[in-house]
Amino acid sequence: MAQATGDAIGRLPAPTGDLAVGRVTLTWADASRVEPLSPNDVRKLAVDIWYPADSTGGAPAPYLDFAGFERAVGAETLQKRLRGAYGVIKAGAVRTYAVNGAPFARSIEPTPVLIFSPGMGMPRELYTAQLEDLASHGYVVAAISHTYDAFAVVFPDGTNIISSDKRWPVQPSFEGKANLNQLEWQADDIRFVLDQLSRSNESAVRSLPFTGHLDLGRVGAFGHSFGGVAVAYACQGDPRIKACLNQDGENGFTPFYLDPRGRGIDQPFMFIERALRTTPPTDDELAAMKVTRDRLTEIAAALMAYRDRVLRSTGTTYHVILQSNTTTHMDFSDFPILSAGNTIEADTHMRIMAVVRDYTRAFFDRYLKEARSPLLDGKASSLFVEGIERFGSAKQSNRQR
């Protein structure tokens, strides 16, 4: 398993693949959807495309348009949003390993495609460590910032759209109720980006570095937090997506919902999550939830039974369980690495990121590249992994410890 150690605070781990990485940032408008908060405008998305490239020796692509984000939300709000990572990002100390507009790698055949959906409120830029690593291993990765969900979306022309609490009337609850309207919109974003990639790949004018290099028979999708739930929802409705991965995203303990017929996902599915809490809630927590202990026990039992049905409802499901005492929900993003207060803390979070990257890549390698991996067979161990379960047609369960 890859290890990422020894980097200075504020530095992202280097990609582990053999290929250089290129990046382009695009604005795509979906003429079929009108924005409810801006009825004179259609749905508009900013998308980063990370891809395997020929090394050009060019300057690294900027990590994040700090000035653009500051204009969008103001310095005080941006500092609150970026938290401990604010200082190193503002200073321009965060280096990417990609070159904007670099030529596509000539040494490889048409490549599989991945679409990435961020967590609630998160812009795509804050997942760079994952995205460029996959590109270095021969994937084209399209990362979306969901307009009005990300706290700010800064477009290549300098315009921006910030999040709004008026966009979605209902937020998810601990009982497992989700905002289905929001879920639909994000899933439609994912499908729209796949449509645009298909059109760009067939363009007679090769204006984009990846044009003609995409293997659209090998498409996967993955997302973090609510983005992981949205990816699963998109997979249920789009057979073009051949493999689906949810990184620590759930409502009511569940990584996705069964459809009205009680069916799950036909494609292979991986769910990476931190181990569920085992300690009972305190009296103060119960009071905040406005529920009695007996009622909460009843709700939890029903949710866990539904969760088990969901995990067993796909053709093949891998359930990777991370240790909850050593990892955080944000370890799927760059935040913990960039926010580290010392080199030991930074090194720990880089090792956790290495585990996330390894399991993510192993899953897509198996189902989009037909490559074997001991990780998915439960034969490799990690300091941060509590176990791995596999559910398949034989209802097999493998759990490593």
Written as one string, the DSSP assignment of 318-369 is EEEEE-TTT--GGGGSSHHHHT-SSHHHHHHHHHHHHHHHHHHHHHHHHHHH
- The pair phi, psi for residue 286, each rounded to 5°, is -60, -40
Q: Quick count: other Cβ atoms within 10 Å of Cβ 158? A: 11
Domain annotation covers residue 382: yes
Domain annotation covers residue 47: yes
Q: What is the structure's pLDDT at 281? A: 84
Q: Are 246 and 187 within 8 A, CB to CB?
A: no
Domain annotation covers residue 8: no
Task: Compute the C-alpha angle 147/119/332, nearest 5°.
Answer: 140
Q: Quick count: other Cβ atoms within 10 Å of Cβ 194? A: 19
Angle between helices 75-82 and 66-73 (to 10 degrees): 120
Positive or negative, the Cα torsion across 150, 274, 301, 306? positive
**CA gap 20, 209 in Å, rounded:** 14
Domain annotation covers residue 52: yes
Domain annotation covers residue 289: yes
Task: Report the number of distinct structural domains present in the chain.
Answer: 1
pLDDT per residue over 223-281, tens digit each? 999 999 999 999 999 999 999 999 999 988 889 988 878 888 999 999 999 998 778 88
Q: What is the structure's pLDDT at 401? A: 34
**CA gap 46, 93 in Å, rounded:** 24
Domain that holds residue 63: 20-391
**Residue 216 maps to which CATH number?**
3.40.50.1820
Q: Which residues of the chain have pLDDT under 50?
A: 1-7, 172, 393-401
Number of continuous H segments (helices) and E segments (strands) in the chain: 10, 12
**CA gap 91, 47 in Å, rounded:** 24
Domain annotation covers residue 2: no
**CA gap 52, 70 in Å, rounded:** 31
Q: What is the structure's pLDDT at 1? A: 46
Name residue 321's beta-bridge partners: 273, 387
Domain annotation covers residue 90: yes
Domain annotation covers residue 399: no
